[in-house]
């Protein structure tokens, strides 16, 4: 199964090719055709299964169709509600990456930061809004935002919304969006309260479910190293020198972090390149070719960019920052230990990431061994 077999439009396929995506994940191959038929969707899927692309790709495609058939109205066309700021940022990046060759503008809004830059972007006009419920309702209440033109509504990680006490806010948001819309509902679990919420949001939905990836290969030796955030850069240099590493894939959570770390490694005398969604396809391909040919030691990548990386003999992966989604850890360390080769995965964990580590250990069903000795730096 390929994206072209799912009848994904040419501009979106081009963007997926740039990212190195060739085959859809199970949730994508199940969800995309349903959404493209303009049906409501109830999906039981965890983060890490590729669900963001499962809704972002078809929503972009339907918006493209609307534009081409003059169906689009003025104002915001699509609204994605997420429980956390971090997820809002990731989802917005995905829309931007997949919609690279389309004329749509997206924006993530969330609390905990000044609303001024967000309001300025809104005033310029946007097509796709990704929001946490609190900030969304706040801006609506101030008369700074209207969502009465929404045609596509996505509720992402509904069970986390419930856990975090946002269900009342979600119900409030529903009062501001048109009753006539297409709605997509994603949740990792389906307790009674979530089913009730889904029944309130969806009309005659199609249902899909996929099981998450949870097992880590036995060929990968895993280790966690505890350190403060500011110690990580020197810790990485120390690790590369300690083990005389000639080739390592390093994961960061953000594009900015990838660039910054790559520059630091270069200054420390370790050849490095960063790859992420903001890099051109040519730059990413060059960096990957240099890495495979051994011209650079460290390839620093974000998760979205790393999906296209397939290197059979990669011996080392470093989680410079732990992922906030446990399934992502499984995907990351699965880049090593391939084709019967052994591999090592090192994770740097600072104070703020302890909860991420617990979530990862719960998912993989094991405690990750802790490094016994401090690294020479």
Q: Give the span between the Cα atoms of 49 and 24, in whole angstroms.
A: 10
Q: What is the mean pLDDT of residues 55-67?
A: 95
pLDDT tens per residue across span 156-206: 989 888 877 888 999 999 999 999 999 999 987 787 888 899 999 999 999
List, for residues 82-113, the tens digit of each pLDDT value.
988 878 988 999 999 999 999 999 999 998 88
Tell me what pLDDT residue 170 has.
Answer: 94
- CATH 3.40.50.300 assigned to domain 10-209? The reply is yes
- Of all residues in the chain, the percent with pLDDT exceeding 90 is 60
DSSP 20: T
Of residues 271 and 336, the one with the higher pLDDT is 271
Confidence of residue 377 (pLDDT cuts 50, 70, 90): very low
pTM above 0.75, yes or no: no
Return the pLDDT at 375: 45
Span of 82-96, 116-130, 237-251, 278-292 with lowest mean pLDDT: 278-292
pLDDT at 60 exceeding the cut of 80:
yes
CA 58/CA 28 separation, integer angstroms:
9
User: What CATH architecture applies to the domain 220-364?
Assistant: 3-Layer(aba) Sandwich (3.40)
Average pLDDT value over all residues in the chain: 89
Mean pLDDT of 288-299: 91
Name the E strands within the chain.
41-44, 78-81, 106-109, 128-131, 152-155, 182-187, 206-209, 220-226, 248-251, 272-275, 298-301, 316-319, 343-349
**pLDDT category of residue 312 using cuts at 50, 70 and 90:** low
Nearest CA to 122 among 109, 135, 137?
109
Which of 114-128, 198-212, 332-346 has the highest mean predicted lDDT (pLDDT)?
A: 114-128
Distance CA 67, CA 58 (A): 14
pLDDT digits (tens, 9 = 90+) for 217-268: 677 899 999 999 999 999 999 999 999 999 999 999 888 899 999 999 999 9
Domain with CATH 3.40.50.300 in the chain: 10-209, 220-364
Mean pLDDT of 129-142: 96
User: Which pLDDT band holds residue 279 (cuts at 50, 70, 90)?
Assistant: confident
How far is 118 from 110, CA to CA, in rounded Å?
9
Phi and psi based region of residue 94 (left: phi greater than 0; alpha: psi -120 to 50; beta: remaining): alpha
Contact of 50 with 193, CB cutoff 8 Å = no
């Amino acid at each position: 199964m390929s994206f072209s077999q799912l009848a994904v439009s040419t501009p979106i396929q081009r963007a997926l090719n740039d990212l190195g995506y060739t085959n859809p994940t199970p949730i994508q191959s199940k969800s995309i055709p349903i959404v493209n038929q303009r049906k409501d969707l109830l999906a039981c899927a965890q983060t890490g299964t590729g669900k963001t692309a499962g809704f972002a790709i078809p929503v972009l495609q339907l918006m493209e169709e609307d534009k081409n058939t003059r169906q689009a109205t003025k104002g915001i066309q699509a609204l994605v509600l997420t429980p956390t700021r971090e997820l809002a940022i990731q989802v917005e990046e995905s829309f931007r990456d997949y919609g690279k060759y389309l004329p749509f503008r997206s924006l993530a809004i969330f609390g905990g930061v000044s609303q001024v830059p967000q309001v300025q972007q809104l005033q310029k006009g946007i097509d796709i809004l990704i929001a946490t419920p609190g900030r969304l309702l706040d801006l609506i209440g101030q008369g700074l935002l209207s969502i009465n033109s929404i045609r596509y509504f996505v509720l992402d990680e509904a069970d986390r919304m419930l856990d975090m006490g946002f269900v009342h806010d979600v119900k409030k948001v529903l009062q501001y969006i048109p009753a006539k819309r297409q709605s997509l509902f994603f949740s990792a679990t389906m307790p009674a309260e979530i089913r009730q919420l889904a029944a309130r949001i969806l009309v005659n939905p199609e249902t899909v479910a996929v099981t998450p990836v949870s097992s880590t290969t036995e060929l990968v030796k895993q280790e966690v190293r505890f350190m403060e955030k500011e110690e990580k850069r020197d810790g990485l240099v120390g690790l590369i020198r300690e083990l005389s590493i000639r080739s390592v894939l390093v994961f960061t959570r953000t594009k900015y972090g990838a660039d910054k770390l790559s520059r630091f490694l270069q200054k420390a005398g370790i050849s490095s390149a960063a790859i992420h969604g903001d890099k051109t396809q040519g730059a990413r391909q060059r960096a990957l070719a240099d890495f495979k040919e051994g011209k650079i030691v460290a390839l620093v990548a974000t998760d979205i960019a790393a999906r296209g990386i397939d290197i059979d003999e990669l011996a080392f992966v470093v989680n410079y920052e732990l992922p906030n989604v446990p399934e992502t850890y499984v995907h990351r360390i699965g880049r090593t230990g391939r084709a019967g080769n052994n591999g090592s995965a090192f994770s740097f964990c600072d104070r703020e990431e302890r909860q991420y580590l617990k979530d990862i250990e719960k998912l993989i069903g094991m405690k990750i061994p802790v490094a016994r000795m401090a690294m020479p730096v």
